[in-house]
Every structure is written in structure tokens, then in C-alpha cells.
């Protein structure tokens, strides 16, 4: 009996791994890109590479309302059904954002899990400092917690005034979309 359970479990694991490996990730990416276009967000000049269990996107330019907004060196998407993650490395914002925030973002990690389906979490690190983000999907609420860098504190006081200062020297921003 134990042998049958182990054998069945191995078959199920193999089937799930095969489904994850053979999911048409590139097609799903282009479908997501088509959906973003409805919000006037276009990703162009990217190289898309299906790496089996993950999807890699390199050298992407992001345009919002036909205005170049960012260059992204590398994006890794992990669609694992129960847990999904997006890791973005080396983002450079357009010069138009320079008066609001520093332009370099070293990394951005976004996570979504079916074990916590009502929340999307993210964290980012860059010239601005460290940022924790949570999105409550049903309530459409965004919560940001920023631990600003010295550069942010020195050169971007106008942006920090838009945020609420906390007791530990950080800043918080809450918005309902």
C-alpha cells in the first residue's frame, strides 16, 4: 500500500513538473503585454527566452502613454502556480523622473502566492533606499514603506514631503486606487 502511495505521488509530481515546464510561457507573456497595452503601457525591444521553468526577458524598454519611462536589463518570471515571482534587475528610469526620485533601481522583487491570494508583496532596492510594498487586491489598497538613502534624504525632500514620516526614520504612503 505504501509503495502505491509513493508511486502515485511521484506520478503527480512528475505531471505537475511537466505542466510547469511545457506551459507556453512566451505566449502568456505576449498576452500579458497585450493586456498592458490597454493601459497605455508598452514593452518593446525585449529579448524573451523560455528557460524551462522560468521566463527570462532582457533589455526591455518600457513606454507609458508613448513616453519612454524605463530601461530594464533583466526580468525573470517564475510561474510556479502556487507561488509566482517576478525578479527585475537594473532598472533605469527616464530622465523626466529625475526631479522626483533617483533614477537607478538595483532590484525589484514581486511575489504572489495562492496561499495568500488577496495580497501581492514586493520589495525594491535602489539609489532611493529600500522599499517594501504591499497591495491588497480586493480593497485595491497600496501600502509603501520607504527607508530612504542619504541621497533621497538630501536631494529629494519634495518627494518625501508627500509621504508620512514614521518614528524609526522611515516613510509610509497609503493609497486606495
| 69-125 pLDDT, tens digit each | 999 999 999 998 889 999 999 999 999 999 999 999 999 999 999 999 999 999 999
Mean pLDDT of the chain: 94
Out of 79, 110, 143, a domain closes at 79
pLDDT of residue 81: 81
Same domain, yes or no: 75 and 139:
no
Q: Tell me which residue range forms the domain holding 133.
A: 92-177
Same domain, yes or no: 75 and 97:
no
Is residue 134 predicted with pLDDT exceeding 90?
Answer: yes
pLDDT of residue 164: 96
Same domain, yes or no: 172 and 99:
yes
Same domain, yes or no: 124 and 145:
yes
Mean pLDDT of the region 41-62 = 96
| 3-17 pLDDT, tens digit each | 999 999 999 999 988
Mean pLDDT of the region 133-148 = 96
pLDDT of residue 146: 97
Would you say residue 87 lies in a domain?
no
Of all residues in the chain, what percent carry a pLDDT higher than 70?
100
d(CA 76, CA 48): 10
pLDDT of residue 16: 87
Same domain, yes or no: 20 and 72:
yes
Would you say residue 16 lies in a domain?
yes
Same domain, yes or no: 57 and 107:
no
Same domain, yes or no: 68 and 120:
no
Q: Domain tally for the chain?
A: 2
Q: Say if residues 167 and 159 touch (Cβ distance below 8 Å).
A: no
Q: Say if residues 133 and 157 touch (Cβ distance below 8 Å).
A: no
Dihedral Cα 6, 9, 10, 16, nearest 10 deg: 180
Same domain, yes or no: 71 and 137:
no
Would you say residue 84 lies in a domain?
no
Is residue 68 predicted with pLDDT exceeding 90?
Answer: yes
Q: DSSP class of residue 102? A: -
In this prediction, residue 20 has a pLDDT band, given cuts at 50, 70 and 90, of: confident
Residue 57 grid coordinates: 526577458
Would you say residue 128 lies in a domain?
yes
Nearest to 52 by CA among 19, 75, 83: 19
Same domain, yes or no: 36 and 112:
no
| pTM metric for this prediction | 0.88
The secondary structure element, H or E, covering residue 107 is strand 104-113
Is residue 43 predicted with pLDDT exceeding 90?
Answer: yes
Strands 47-50 and 83-93: unpaired
Amino acid at each position: 500500500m505504501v509503495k502505491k502511495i509513493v508511486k502515485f505521488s511521484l506520478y503527480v509530481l512528475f505531471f505537475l513538473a511537466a505542466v510547469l515546464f511545457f506551459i507556453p510561457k512566451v505566449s502568456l507573456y505576449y498576452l500579458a503585454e497585450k493586456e498592458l497595452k490597454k493601459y497605455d503601457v508598452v514593452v518593446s525591444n525585449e529579448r524573451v527566452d523560455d528557460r524551462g521553468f522560468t521566463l527570462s526577458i532582457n533589455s526591455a524598454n518600457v513606454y507609458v502613454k508613448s513616453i519612454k519611462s524605463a530601461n530594464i536589463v533583466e526580468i525573470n518570471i517564475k510561474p510556479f502556480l502556487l507561488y509566482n515571482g517576478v525578479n527585475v534587475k537594473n532598472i533605469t528610469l527616464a530622465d523626466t523622473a529625475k526631479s522626483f526620485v533617483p533614477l537607478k533601481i538595483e532590484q525589484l522583487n514581486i511575489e504572489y502566492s495562492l496561499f495568500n491570494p488577496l495580497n501581492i508583496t514586493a520589495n525594491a532596492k535602489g539609489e532611493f533606499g529600500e522599499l517594501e510594498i504591499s497591495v491588497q487586491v480586493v480593497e485595491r489598497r497600496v501600502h509603501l514603506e520607504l527607508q530612504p538613502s542619504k541621497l533621497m534624504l538630501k536631494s529629494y525632500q519634495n518627494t518625501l514631503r508627500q509621504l508620512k514620516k514614521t518614528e524609526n526614520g522611515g516613510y509610509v504612503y497609503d493609497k486606495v486606487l
